Structure 1
Amino acid sequence: MLKVKKAVLDYLEREETDYAILINGEWGSGKTYYWKNNLQTEINDEGYESIYVSLYGVTSLSEIGRKIFLSKMEDGLLSKLSGKLDDIGGEKINKLKEKGFELTKTLINVSDNKFGTNFKEEADLENLVDLEKSVLGFDDLERCNLPVEEIMGYINNFVEHDMIKTIIIANENEIYNPSLKQNVSSKIDIAKYFFKSEKTIEENIDEFDSKIKRIFSEYSHYKKIKEKLIGKTIEFSLTKEYCNEVIDNLISKFLDSEKNSKVEENINKKYNSFLESKKDIIIDTLYRSDKNIRSLKHGLADFKKIYSYLYENDLFDEIDDNLLIFTLAVSFEIRSGLYSKGELEKLIEYDLLYYSPSGLIYESDKNDYKEELEFIRKIINNYYQKGIDLYFSPMIFQYVMKGFLNKEELKREIKEIKEERKEIMKRREKNPKLESILNNWWNLDDSDFYSKIDDVIQNAEKGNYKLGVYPELFYNISKLAHYRVISKNLDELKEKFKDGIKVSRKKHSYDEISSISINSIETKFNLYKTNELESKYIEFCEEIKDFTLEQVEKILKKQKNKDIKEVAKLINSNPEEFFDCITSSKEYLFKPIIVYIDIDKFIENIKENKFSNEYITDLGNFLLHKYENGDLNKQYHGYEEKLCLLKERIDNYLDELENTDLKLRFYLVQRLSNSIDKITKELENNK
C-alpha cells in the first residue's frame, strides 16, 4: 500500500492540480476500507479535510451535491461536538454526534414548500459549503446509475475549474458494462461481422467478448474523458502486509459490541483468540481466493456461529483448521458470482466427504469433470495444497449459502468427521506403505517406491485392506500405469483385486463395513476420475468401484436380514421391546418382519392369553400401516406362502373362539387376520 500512499501524498503536495487521480482495483479488494482506515488520516494530517462520497446507486447529479454537503456538515458537526462536549464522556459524545448528524440529514431530506421551492431538489448544496483545502473522494464510480461521461463531467468541474483535489475509487474493468448491456442483440450481430475466425464463437468466447468491448467502447466515451480528467491511475491490490492489518481490524471487531451478554462476551474473547492464532491460515486462504475483503468479513462472521456452537458442545479441537478453511473457501466461492443457484443447491445434497487432496496437485487442467463436482474440485485445488485434508460439510455449506444452521445435523457431521479422521490416522499408522502409495508416491525414491508398491499390491490381492480403499488404490495404480511409471497388466490385476475384495469382505467386521459411505466412495471416485487416462483404464476403475460397492451392499443387506430376524423374535418373547424397536426406526416399517416369526409360538401365546388385546390391536395396526404405506411387492415377494400359513393358523384359532364369550378378543384377532389377508391379496394382484 506504500505506493498508493506515496502517490496520494505527492498529489497533495502539489500546489495547483487540474487533474484527479484514480485508485483502480477489483471489487472487494479493500479500496474503500483503505480510504476510510488509512488515507483519510493521511489526508487530514496534511491539513486537508477528506470528504467521502459513494456514487453507488446515484441517479442524479443533485444527489451527489447533497452527499457532499452532508459529508461536510457531518465532519463540521462532529468537530464542534467534540470540542464542546469533551467533559461529558466518550460514550455520550458518540451518541450525541449520531443524533446531531441524523437531525441534519432529516432536515436536508425534507421538502419545505413554505419557501416556495423544494429545498431538497433545487438547492446546489455543494455550493453552500467551503471546499477549499478539501479532498473529494468519489467511490463506486462503476456502480453509479448515471452515464459515466455525465458523472465524470460533473467531477471535472471540481477539478478543472475549482482546483479541488479529487480522488476517484473504482473498478475500471466494470465501467464498460452498463453501455455494453444496451441493445445487446444488435451489438452481437455487428461484432459477428468483424469476428473473423474458423472457430465458433463458443470455442473462442474470450476473443469475441474482447471484440465487442473494442467496437463499442466509444459508446461510453470513458477513455476520452479519462485522458482529460485523470492525471494518474494507481493500481490497488492487496499485499500480505496490508492483509495483516486488515485482518487485525476484522478480528478486533468481534470484541467491540456493547450489547453482548457475559456469555457472548466470553465466546467473543475465545473466538478473537482463536482467530489471532489462525492469522497465517486466514491470510493464506485469502491469498488463494480472489482477495475479496468483503467475502472474508462475511466468512469470519459466519464461522463465529459455527465456532460458538462447536465450542459450547466440546466438539472443536483437532479439526479446527480444516473447518475454518472450508468455511472461508465456501464464502469466497459462493460470493464470487461464478455459480448459479441451481449448481449450488446440488451441493447441499452431497454426503459428508472426507478427502485428502494431495493426489490432485498434479492433475491436468484439461480434465473434463462432472459439472456438479467442479465446485469441490476448485476448493481442493485452490485452498488445500498445504497437505490439510478437506471435510466437505453440507451443513456448513448450507449455512454460508442460506443463513440457516442445522445444529443437530452439524453435530452429527462433526462426530462422523472425527470418526473418519481417526480411521484415517489409524490407517496411516498401521499401513504407512499404503498411505505412501495413495497420497505421497511422488516424493519417494525410486527403489523405495517400487518396493512399497509391490508390497501394497500383494496385500490388496490378499484382502488385507478395508473395502473402501480398493477403488482409490486401483485408480492410483491405473494412473501410474498410464504414466508408464509401472508396468502392470491391469486386466489381470483387476481380477486379482476382485478376489482381494471378496476376501476383505469376509475378513472385516460388519461395523467396519457399515461405516463405509457408499455416496462418499462415488463422490471421491468422480473427483479422482479424469479423461487423461485411457478409456479402458477408466472402465477398469469403474468396474472395481462398482464391484466394491456391490460387496458392501451385500454385507449390509445380509446384516439387515439378520437384524430383522432378531426383531421378529421379540414379537413372541418381549412385545413391549418389539414395539419400542419398530417405533424407534422407520426402517422397520418397510421390512417383512412378520414373516420371520415362529408361527407355532405365536399361536400358542395368543391361545394362552400371553398377548393382551392391546398388543393384538397394535399388531393389526402395524400390518395395516404397512399395507397402506409400503411397497408390498418389494417387501414380501417370495414370502407369500409364509403369510398364507400364518393367516391359516390364525383363522383356525378364530374358529375356536367363535362360540366363546370372548367377543372382543374374537373381533381383534379377526382384524389381525384381515390385515394379513389384504397384504396377500395385494401381492396376488401384482403378480
Structure 2
Amino acid sequence: MLDNREKIIKSVKVYIDENMSDYAVMINGAWGSGKTYFVKNELIPELEQDKPVIYISLFGIKTIDDLVNVMSLHILNIYSNERAQKRANLNGNSSGQINSRNISSTSKVATTLMSLVSKGLKLVPKGEDTKAFVSDLQKNSIKFSHYVFIFDDFERSIIDKIELLGFFDELVEQNNAKVIIVCNEGKIANGRKENNNSSIQKENEESIDKRLVDDYTLYKEKVIGLTINYKADLSSVYERVLLKEANHDDAYRLLLQSKDDILRLFKITSSHNIRTLKFIFKRFKELRKEIKAAFKINKKDMTYFNVYVSAIMLNVITASLSYKGFGKNIVDILKDKDTIACFFSSEGLNDDVKNFDMTNYVRVTRFINEYIYTYSLDCMLLMEDIDRFIDEKINDTQVIANRVNDIFCMKDDKSAVQELLAVLDDIEKDRYCLGVYPRILSNLFILVELFSDGKQISIDKLKKSILANIEKRADEFIESNWYYFSSSNIEANEFNHQLYKTLKSMHNKARISRFIKDFNSVDDVVETLRKFVEIGSAAEKGKSLLSYVPVEIIVKRVMKASNNEIQAIHGILRHNYLNVNNIKDIRQGDLCMFRKWRDMLDQQKDTIDSQLKYFHICLLLDCIKDICDKLQ
C-alpha cells in the first residue's frame, strides 16, 4: 500500500507528464508537518529525472518583479549548466557530466514574461552565458514549459495573493509551465494577530477577511486544478531526518533505538512537527557531546554515561515539545530547583513536583531546560547534575542488588572477580547508602567466601568496611529496611543482625540528642513539651520523649517560662497523666524523670521573687507530685 508521500509523488508526476496543462497544483499542509522537507528531499529528486526543477520560497519576496528576478537567476543557472554540458560533450569529456533532462513542450514565451525576465537580468553581470541566454530568450528558444516551478511558503508571502495567483495563471495558461504551490491554506486568511481593538473594528476586520477569502477562493478555482493534502507521518521520515542531522554518530544510535518511545511522546502532545523533531535531534547531539566531555574531563565513572544520557534525552524531548508546541517558558517550570520530576501530558511538561519513579514523570534538569530555551550551557549545573545522578544510581538499592546477583551469571571467574572487586571498592569508599546492605549481604558473603584471597577479597575486610560506613550513615537508618534475611550463609545473617542492633542503638542515641537539642532551642516551650509527652509519641515502650531530656534543662525552661506558659504546662501534664486511668501501664518509665523534676523544682521555688509566679510553680509542683504518686 502506498503511503501519503508516495501517493503525492505519483499524482504530481501524472501532472508533470501531461503534454498540455493550463493549471497549477497545490500541496497543502500544516506548518511543521514536513512539507518543505518532503518537497526538497523526495519530490524534487523524482521530478528532476524528467525536467529541471526551480524551487523558490516566496517568504521575503516583496513584489512580482522581485519574484521574476529570482526566477531569472535560477533559469540562468540551469541554462549555464546545460551549456557547460554541451561543451563537455563536444570535447568528449564526461567527467563533469550533468544529468540530462527531457524537454517536452513547444509553447511560446509570453511577451510580458519575456520582458520581465529581461528586466531581471539587468541585475546580473554580463558574462558569456548571460549574453547567450538573453539572445536565446529573444529568439523564443527558451521556453517556460522546459521547467517545473515550485513556489513554497505561499501563505507567508507579503505579495497580494490574488496578484500571485494571476502571475501563476500566466505561467501555466499562456506558457504551459508546470507550477506547484506549497502552502498552509489554513493560514492564508488567519494571519492577523490578536489585538485589543473595539468590537466594531473587529467586525470590520472579519468582514474584510471574509471578502479576501471569497476572492481567494474564486481565483484559486481558476488557477489551481488539483489540491493535494499533505499529512505528516513522522514514523516514515524519522530515520531519514535522523540520518541527516546525526549522521551515524553515537547520538544517532541512541535516537534510532529510541524511535518508538520518542514518537510516543510526540503522539501524547498530538505533535506532527518535523521542525520540532529536527530541533530535538540537533540539541541532543550537541548536549551528548558536551556531557561526554564533562565525564572525561572530570574523570567520572563512564559506566553511568549511557544511562545518564538516556535520561537527558528524555528531558530534551519533553522540554522541546513543551517549548515548541505550547510556547512554555520551560525554565520557569523548575522554579527554584535544579532537578525535579515533572509530569508530562498532552499539554507538555507541568510544574507539579513528584517522585522520580512515578509513571509519566520525567526527570527534568535546569541546565537542559535553559539550554533548550537559550542555547546557553551552564557547565557548573551540568557537573552538579552528573554528580547528583550518579549518587542516585549508586544509592538505587535494586540496581546494586541486581549488580551483585549478576556476578553469579558471569561468563568466567575472571569477569566475576573483576566485578566483585568493583563492588567491594564501592563499599570501601562508602559509595552505597545504608539501605543497600540488607539487600546484598547474603549473596555478597557467598561471593567473597567463594573468591576469597585473604587480601583484597576477605570477609574480615568486608565487615570492617561496612562497620566503618554505618557509623557515618547512622542517620539514614530506617527500621523497615533492615528486615532479617534467612539465608544459607549463617555468617551473613549474623552480621546483618549485628548491624541492625548497632544501627538501632546509634539511631536512638542520635534521636535522643535531637530531642535534647530541640527542647533546649525551640522558643515555644509549651508546644514542645506537649509534643514530647503526648500519648503515642514514646521513643521506647513505657517512656515519653520528655524522659530523654535532662531534668536540669526541663526545670531551667520552666523557671524561665511566663505565668501563662506555666499554667499551660500544668494543663498538659494533667491531661496526659492524671486524666489517663491506665497511665502507669504506658508511662511508668517516666517516674524517675518526674521524681527528679519534683525535687529540683521544690528546691528552686523559693528563689522566685514574684508571688504570682510562685503561686503557678506551686500548682505545677503539686501536679508533678500527684503524677509521681500515680506512676509508682
**Higher gyration radius (CA):** 2
TM-score, L = length of structure 2: 0.50
TM-score, L = length of structure 1: 0.46
